[in-house]
Structure 1
Amino acid sequence: MLNEHDPFSAYKQTTLDARAAAANPHEMVRMLLDGLLEEIERTRGFMERKSFEDKGKSVNKCLNIVHGLDSMLDLENGGEVATSLNRLYDYCSRQLVSASVENNPDSLDPIIQVISNVRAGWANLN
């Protein structure tokens, strides 16, 4: 089994770090949305396996990504779009906490739907 200290993981992290360093803000948001969707799937697996410590770490990563996305919003100049995204990110944060407390993988589905829709909309901006 691969762990955080194997060469493949180190390569993957280095590649991700390089992509993030070269990314413009649009690409950075897309990377965060993709990373969030991937981490939510990991969270689901931890919930299903009742791996509570790993689930907690994974939910924390998800929350950090959501808060990062939210912090990138310009609520003063972003108009209705920024306000709507702020509300969606708040909903996702609350839903993540609720899903974690209940250890209910099905409670992740609405978050995946919301973030997938945001991701699709973001992709169309390109």
Structure 2
Amino acid sequence: MYGPGMNRGVNQYRQSGALAEAQVAEPYRLIQMLFEGALERIAVAKGAMQQGNVALKGEKIGKAIDIVEALRAVLDHKHSPELSGNLDALYEYMSRRLLEANVQNDPAALDEVSSLIREIKAGWDDIPPQERRKAG
């Protein structure tokens, strides 16, 4: 699942101050970090939205979209076509909802995307340790 499309999302995460871990993380952990980074940016965007800070809201939502699109770009459609197809559609939906949240100032859309990311992350976190190398 790890490939060149990950670079943009990894770069976004690295900018958050977790550079050292991102540089040495195995692919499985990098994906976890991207989920965490997206959730963090959405939370900050929601706070900025509630405070009327349009610039920060837009910046953080844009970075969250970059991370979601990086996750989408590295899906392995050959290994598990049905699962990766479903995730691809879900990531596309999340990117669209984030964009709508930004344009419409809709905190419920941010909550929806956060919930979806947490659900996917929970599944990712439950991958048994012996299978994690294969997942990356």
TM-score, L = length of structure 1: 0.85
Who is 1:122 aligned against?
124
What residue ranges of structure 2 are gaps of 5+ in the alignment? 1-13, 129-136
Q: Aligned-pair RMSD on alpha carbons? A: 1.7
Residue 77 of structure 1, CA deviation:
2.7
Closer, same or farther in 2 for the Cα pair 1:15/1:111, shift >3 Å? Answer: closer
Q: Rg bigger for which structure?
A: 1
Please show how residues 1-126 of structure 1 align to structure 2 within 5 Å: 16-126=18-128
Superposed CA offset, 1:77-105 (max 9, x none): 33211111111110100000111111111
Superposed CA offset, 1:7-55 (max 9, x none): xxxxx96961111111111111000001111110001011101111111
Question: Paired residues, what number?
Answer: 115
Aligned sequence identity (%): 34
Shift >4 Å, 4+ stretches: 12-15
Who is 2:131 aligned against?
none
